[in-house]
Structure 1
Amino acid sequence: MRKTVWLVLSLALTTSFAFAQDKLKPGLWEMTMKSDAMKNMPKISPEQMEQMRKMGVHVPQMQDGGMVTKVCITKEMAEREQMPMTQNESDCQAKNYQRSGNTYSVDVVCNGPNLKGNGKMKGKMNGSESFSSTYDFKGTAHGQPISQKHENSGKWLSSDCGNVKPMAEAPLKK
């Protein structure tokens, strides 16, 4: 079940990038996501986190009841008027992307062997250096019913991504 929660959380984080009238600034971004599901997740000890990192597993930082991760947005990603989604979310597609001024919405449809359901994201850009959004998803994960609600936010940190690699992307389907 933990893997399913991480999949849904990852999906919400990556669909958090949407482009409204102001385009995202390229560079290093800090993303924060809070949800009820995260409150119920078992705690991972610092030793376990370090062991997972040594094995090459990216483990987001948990703080203030939310998951915080750093993401690199390239200039090319920022110039596109579409949302990036990671390639490992191939069971899910973003559809019906709409924007008006600094607000946006998108539907997420998942129809894979492990994750089926529908989600809706609504958000607001606050210039080119921050955004906030909400995400609701209902469906099944590994045959079990799930209902997830998330609050997401992002803020630009630096034009230099440092050692954070850009996300691998899959195209947006309209």
Structure 2
Amino acid sequence: MKTLALSLTAALLASTAAAQTLNPAPAPGLWETQFKLTVNGQDLSAAMNNAMAAALKDLPPDQRAMAEQMMKAQGGAMMGGPQQECLSAETAKRRSDARSMLADLQEDAPHCRYEPVKISGGTVSFKGRCNDPDGFSGDIAGEMTMGSAKAWTGRWTGTGRMAGDMGSMPGLKVAADGRVQMAWNGSGRWLGASCGNVKPE
């Protein structure tokens, strides 16, 4: 699910295929992004937390402490909480180029294909289809808005089926045939030109 969410985040930023460049382009520097993903109206982060708590419950204390420390270090990105990313000038330029972004998107999400997009003002709309035998297969549609070079918001919805053991997560209800309706909402904001200890992308 982390890969799916990150790939679709890229899709929001990459869905300017009908244009040559994104206008305005994201500013280089330190960015903070966050998202929320729901499955059949249920918060996926809460379901994942429940699943992890259940998995950790039976571990020996030393192994549990080590696992909790690792999850704490990585949890923001995995659970959709705030995470920081440093965009170099080169990466920011690449992310403003539609062809480059679509190439990156296809590399990150090879099972998804996207329709030509519609651009209206600062808003980019897209739709597509994913066919991942080990993940999500179905139709997606969404939009992304660059409010300025220092802020963006986005959302998408997907209807289809999810392969794997998602239905076994504590607190997450999925139909027996794996059918799901997903909704993603995300945002990003520029924090400053200096990235501090965050390594550039």
Q: Same fold (TM over 0.5)?
A: yes
User: Is residue 50 of structure 1 aligned with residue 57 of structure 2?
Assistant: no
Which structure dedicates a bigger proportion of its chain to helix? 2
Counterpart selection for 2:186 from 149, 152, 163: 152
User: Is residue 123 of structure 1 aligned with residue 136 of structure 2?
Assistant: no
Runs of 4+ in 1 over 6 A off after TM superposition: none
Structure exhibiting the larger radius of gyration computed from Cα positions: 2
Range that drifts further, 40-49 or 91-100: 40-49
Q: Percentage identity across aligned positions?
A: 20
1:16, 1:70 → 2: CA distance?
Answer: 18
Relative distance call for 1:7 and 1:138 in structure 2 (3 A) is: farther
Relative distance call for 1:112 and 1:48 in structure 2 (3 A) is: same
1:129, 1:34 → 2: CA distance?
Answer: 20
Kept after mapping to 1: 8 A contact 2:151/2:190: yes
User: TM-score when scaled to structure 2?
Assistant: 0.63
Cα deviation 1:25-61 (Å, max 9, x = unaligned):
12332111013323332255785353358xxxx8341
RMSD of aligned alpha carbons = 3.1
Which structure dedicates a bigger proportion of its chain to strand? 1
Cα deviation 1:110-163 (Å, max 9, x = unaligned):
112223111112122111000111110111121622211111101112334444
> What runs of 5+ residues in structure 2 fail to find an aligned partner?
17-21, 38-42, 54-64, 165-177
User: Is residue 78 of structure 1 aligned with residue 95 of structure 2?
Assistant: yes
User: Is residue 138 of structure 1 aligned with residue 159 of structure 2?
Assistant: yes
Kept after mapping to 2: 8 A contact 1:135/1:151: yes
What is the SS of the residue equivalent to 1:76? helix
User: TM-score when scaled to structure 1?
Assistant: 0.71
Counterpart selection for 1:34 from 33, 36, 40: 36
2:75, 2:105 → 1: CA distance?
Answer: 17
> What runs of 5+ residues in structure 1 fail to find an aligned partner?
167-174
Aligned residue-pair number? 157
Kept after mapping to 2: 8 A contact 1:49/1:59: no
CA-CA distance at 1:88 after TM superposition: 3.4
2:106, 2:75 → 1: CA distance?
Answer: 16
What is the SS of the residue equivalent to 1:96? coil
Matching of residues 84-123 of structure 1 within 5 Å: 84-85=104-105, 87-114=107-134, 115-123=136-144
2:144, 2:69 → 1: CA distance?
Answer: 34
Kept after mapping to 2: 8 A contact 1:60/1:69: no
CA-CA distance at 1:77 after TM superposition: 1.6
CA-CA distance at 1:24 after TM superposition: 1.2
